[in-house]
Structure 1
Amino acid sequence: MASIPTITFDFYGTLVQWHEGVEAAFREILAHHGQPTADPAPLIHAFHAEGRRLHDTPPWKPYRGVLQESLRLAMSEGGLAMDAADVDGLIARLRHLPAHEDVPEALAALRARGFRLAAISNTDDALIAGSLPALGLPLDAVITAQQARAYKPDPRLFQHAHKALGIGPDEVIHVAANQPLDMAVCKAMGIRAFWVNRRAESVEPEWLPFTEVRDVAEAAELILA
């Protein structure tokens, strides 16, 4: 595997703490609406489901709009009326997400061995920029849905990334924490893949083959072995 010069990563949830940031944002939103002890899980589920629906429904929509409409629907289902402070609070949380603890050292080890490191993410350029410093080193490329005008699992986002990197699907390893969005594309395009199972989820056999790892550090160890 170490002969493959490029590694691409999903960003949110894989490299940085997406789920933790979203949960914190929704707890703040509930507190803002007088429900500080309410369980945010139903709102978060609705938020993610609506985001996926909007991603998958043509025409392509800017990511900020997807976030806003997903939040509006989630809050409506919870009997709440969204206001500007809710949107601003969510964006503020997602603009500066910390890296998972294992990530900076793992990326540094891969960079030291000569790998090019890139992100492929369902986001926009401005939002992802605020969390990049948390990685501890600059990535060689950051490819977003905004650039490709396509969201995972649309393969056009990966095709755009590979074209920008000057590689083919057989010349890259992809590391990601999402099976339906990332492993699905890897299977369809024949990309060698590592699934980062940070949340103790079950393997979905329809998206195999991939190598399951507990975190990015374990993926780096296997790649460098």
Structure 2
Amino acid sequence: MESTRTVTFDFYGTLVQWHEGVEACFRDIVRRHGQPAKNLGPLIHAFHGEGRRLRDTPPWRPYRDVLRESLRFALKDGGMAMANADVDGLITGLSRLPAHGDVPAALAALRAGGWRLAAISNTDDDLIAGSLPSLGLDLDAVITAQQARAYKPDLRLFRYAHDVLGVTPQQTVHVAASQPLDMAVCKALGIRAYWVNRRAETMDPQWLPFTEVRDVAEAAVSILR
């Protein structure tokens, strides 16, 4: 198989149901604390915001630590004290996320079309492992922030991934749901990119050029065309 026929994917939100998983975890947490689960938005917003700050602030730390400290921050912001059960529930829930419904068939079609498939993810090796079976096939490579000691949008994670895969940025296609984390890197490195807009977000022209698609299935059709 030609090494230049390589598609890399963001994992959380692109291939597996990250946002749905986070919401389910927070629903369980606030229920455990005896709080209403009607409006999880502020808690989840604080969780994601603190996660970005921790990922972007040296020194590098494992994603498991980022999740724990982000949860602590969000719960404190919401007037709750984090318990061990909260952390355990979050880690367990985010360690076994199901694939989006369109993903297994799309990956299978790309594999049948002769493309290598790899994930580039802001996570730890053990955290991503439990969600991989839901993809329906084994990826050719799973490259994590833990391996590179760098989180997106740090270019070092992608450069490490390309070294592992034996390709240049221009020999790959990247498919991802995040504009500031993934499309930004693709613009900087000259990678052909597909932005998966599952959540009806607003396109930010500063990260162009990329092709906007509704899901991974639509990206796969375009790549195979």
**1:130, distance to aligned residue in structure 2 (A):** 0.2
Q: How many angstroms apart in 2 are the aligned matches of 1:4 and 1:14?
A: 22
Aligned-pair CA distance for 1:39? 1.2
Q: In the TM superposition, what whole-angstrom CA distance separates every residue of 1:153-183 from its partner, at most 9, and x where no partner exists?
A: 0000000000000000010000000000000
Q: Contact between 1:28 and 1:36, CA under 8 Å: does it hold in 2? A: no
How far 1:4 moved relative to its partner?
A: 4.9
Q: 4+ runs of 1 displaced by more than 3 Å?
A: none
| Residues 3-152 of structure 1 mapped to structure 2, 5 A cutoff | 4-152=4-152
Partner of 1:181: 181
How many angstroms does 1:35 deviate by? 1.2
Q: Could you say which residue in structure 2 is the equivalent of 1:159?
A: 159
Does the aligned pair in 2 maintain the 1:194–1:211 contact within 8 Å?
yes
**TM-score, with structure 1 as normaliser:** 0.98
Q: Which moves more between the two structures, 136-145 or 34-43?
A: 34-43
Q: Deviations over 1:105-124 (max 9, x none)?
A: 00000000110000000000
Check conservation: 1:177, 1:196, Cα contact below 8 A: yes
- Between the aligned partners of 1:23 and 1:106, the Cα distance in structure 2 is 26
Structure 2: how far apart are the matches of 1:60 and 1:4?
Answer: 31
Q: Could you tell me the percent identity over the aligned residues?
A: 74
C-alpha offsets along residues 43-92 of structure 1, whole Å, 9 cap, x if unaligned?
Answer: 10000000000010001011110000000000000000000000000011
User: Residues of 1 paired with 2:163 and 2:14: CA distance?
Assistant: 23
User: 1:176-210: per-residue Cα shift (whole Å, max 9, x none)?
Assistant: 00000000000000000000000000000110000
Instruction: Give 2:162's aligned amino acid.
Output: H
- Is the 2:4–2:167 contact (alpha carbons within 8 Å) kept by the matching residues of 1? no
SS in 2 for 1:222: helix
Q: For structure 1, which runs of at least 5 residues remain unmatched after alignment?
A: none
Structure 2 portions without partners, runs of 5+: none
